[in-house]
Amino acid sequence: MATPLMTFVINFFMAFILSAALTPLVRIIATRKGWIAQPKSDRWHKKPTALMGGIAIFGALLLPILLFSDFKSTFVQFLRAEALIQTPSIAATICVGATFLFIVGLVDDLRNIKPHNKLIAQILAASLVVFLGFRLHWLTSLTLDTLATVFWIVGITNAFNLIDNMDGLCAGIGFVATASLAVLYYPTSSEYLIVAVILAGAMGGFLLYNINPAKIFMGDCGSLVIGFSISVLLLYGPHGVRESQLARIAIPVLVLLVPIMDTTLVTFIRLLSGRKASTGGRDHTSHRLVLMGFSEKNAVFFLYGIGVISGFAANFVSRSDTFTSPAVIIPVVVSVLLMSIYLSQLRVYPEKEFSALRDRSFTPILIEVTFKRQLIMVVLDLCLMAFCYYLAYRLRFEKKEFTFYFQVFLKSLPAVIACKMMVFYWMGVYRGLWGYLSTNDVFLHVRASLFGSLMAVAAVTFVFRFKDFSKAVFIIDWLLNTSLLLGVRGSFRLFLETQRRKTMSGDKVVIYGAGRGGELLLREILNNSKINIMPIGFVDDDDIKKGKKIQGYPILGTFREMTQIHEQHQLNGILVSFNDEDGKRQIAHSEALKFCKKHGLFIKKFKIDLQNMDINY
């Protein structure tokens, strides 16, 4: 019988209030004891901040669990080795392991434990969990699944330790993950649910003081406890396996997609750059988002958003069949993969260090991966083509019909992909550059997708006589294929433009002339990072254009309103984007010169002039 909802609410607020009350107390003690995190070159915070906030999180987690957890039966099982016979208490299991890692983290915060010693402690805690009968159930081999479970617990524990790199990030991502778990387990798994809401409450109360600007950090004694507890909550007891094989793998990964993505990205790039994976640095996902132009708070909230979306996806998968789940899993994973590719291109290491890394053995691999991107695009297109063809079948047929047509899909998939890839290669789709998607490129991709679909229809007609195939499937497939392929390619251009606009700095200017010349000038400013200019918008003598936008920049008004525009935006100069050949524009140019001279602004004229060059032999 499910535990009443009020019990879960009480446990959540008990942990929340405890954490909110304990955190300022811990902060006072930490300040008096000198437990302060000082700013360092490889750390993000810029001012001394109190440590040991993990004490409050652990206390708020431990006390409510002690009220209902069955420690006695778990302890007896441990002594009698009965963990695989009877279902142990998940609350007691987490409590024992978290207590052990809390002590390890506390010692590390105070005296700095060597990384390998901390790893051994994490393996011991993970081994205890596995001994009590909790496993991932990803593999049929008990031995391999046991090793995978230990690796999972240790990996996720360290992943939360790594994302504790910006105000509110670790606790916030943990809160989102446990909230997703609470929805996932409601109302069937009462004990799992109670632990999830208690952990969410403990992190929620701490977040009141840890959100930017942080008044206290949790330290390793907090991040290790959070990572370990959530990783164990995603395991199954000896008699708790319910979902399909796909769900058993997808749900834990989706719930913890943000820490998994960050750890994988950072480790991969550090190794390819010739750095040690364990070396600290400001090269995490959150740091890269700030480098793109996000504020610290917005970068953290952006990662919260990814966690919420992946949490919804996990809950959808838990309630869907194996045939429907990929329709959600694949788009989420591909989106995160694309974001990782975007962020990996940002140079986060100092220029001197980057130059030194170029001589190391792994650096050529990094350069190949970074600059020979067409290989990645081909692989990505391959995945998208397969997914679109699958989704077309899933949208066309109901569940009962799809069971039969899934075999048709599998039988024809290689031929469909081969036809589309040949057409894409023949029509020159892969000759374009990332980030430069023009109108001609859009038409090229539409034509290539259309001819690829037609060739696929011809192939299945020739090989299979079109038996058991549906025309609607190929129409849906073409629409999906065209939309996704253009969307992926357009996203690269969007990323480059967004990065440039958010990181733009320099002299504030307005562009005088909201015509074609003004648009060309704006494009040059956006695409040329060497131009240290930040456009505010346009001014134009045509009253009709006022209030409209060019490339997202507003037309602020006419030149008659220039005084008010200058007072509002504190301009440094004016860029003139029209030729001054006719009389009216000569007058306008003259007025602009007088205005700039009066207000101490610079004025520059944008002009494209193709001149002949003499060739001397």
- Asked whether residue 228 falls in the same domain as residue 256, the answer is no
- Asked whether residue 318 falls in the same domain as residue 447, the answer is no
Q: How many domains does the chain have?
A: 4
Say which range, 21-25, 115-119, 351-355, 416-420, has the weakest mean pLDDT: 351-355
Say which range, 96-105, 151-160, 486-495, has the weakest mean pLDDT: 486-495
**pTM for the whole thing?**
0.78
- Asked whether residue 393 falls in the same domain as residue 407, the answer is yes
Q: Residue 286: pLDDT above 50? A: yes
Domain around 221? 1-241
Percent of the chain with pLDDT over 90: 36
For tokens 């995945």, name the residue. 383
Out of 500, 526, 550, a domain closes at 500
> How far apart are the C-alpha atoms of 590 and 148, rounded to whole Å?
75
| Cα dihedral 565, 566, 569, 572 sign | positive
pLDDT at 70: 57
pLDDT greater at residue 609 or residue 547: 547
Which range in 255-264, 271-280, 549-558 is most confidently predicted, on average pLDDT? 255-264
Out of 479, 500, 521, a domain closes at 500
Is position 613 within any domain?
A: no
- Asked whether residue 109 falls in the same domain as residue 158, the answer is yes
Using the 8-state DSSP alphabet, how is residue 4 labeled? P
pLDDT at 364: 44
Q: Residue 521: pLDDT above 90? A: no
- DSSP letters along 451-495, please? HHHHHHHHHHHHHHTTTT--HHHHHHHHHHHHHHHHHHHHHHHHH
Say which range, 52-61, 169-178, 324-333, 574-583, has the weakest mean pLDDT: 574-583
Instruction: Give the residue-averaged pLDDT of 184-195.
Output: 82
Edge-to-edge strand order for the sheet containing 549-550? Answer: 549-550, 553-557, 533-539, 507-512, 573-576, 602-605
Average pLDDT, the chain: 83
Q: Residue 362: pLDDT above 60? A: no
- Asked whether residue 202 falls in the same domain as residue 273, the answer is no
Is position 155 within any domain?
A: yes
In sequence order, which residues have a C-beta less than 8 Å from that of residue 509 and are 6 or more positions away? Answer: 533, 534, 535, 536, 571, 572, 573, 574, 575
Say which range, 213-222, 246-255, 540-549, 580-589, has the weakest mean pLDDT: 580-589
Q: Residue 16: pLDDT above 80? A: yes
- Asked whether residue 553 falls in the same domain as residue 472, the answer is no
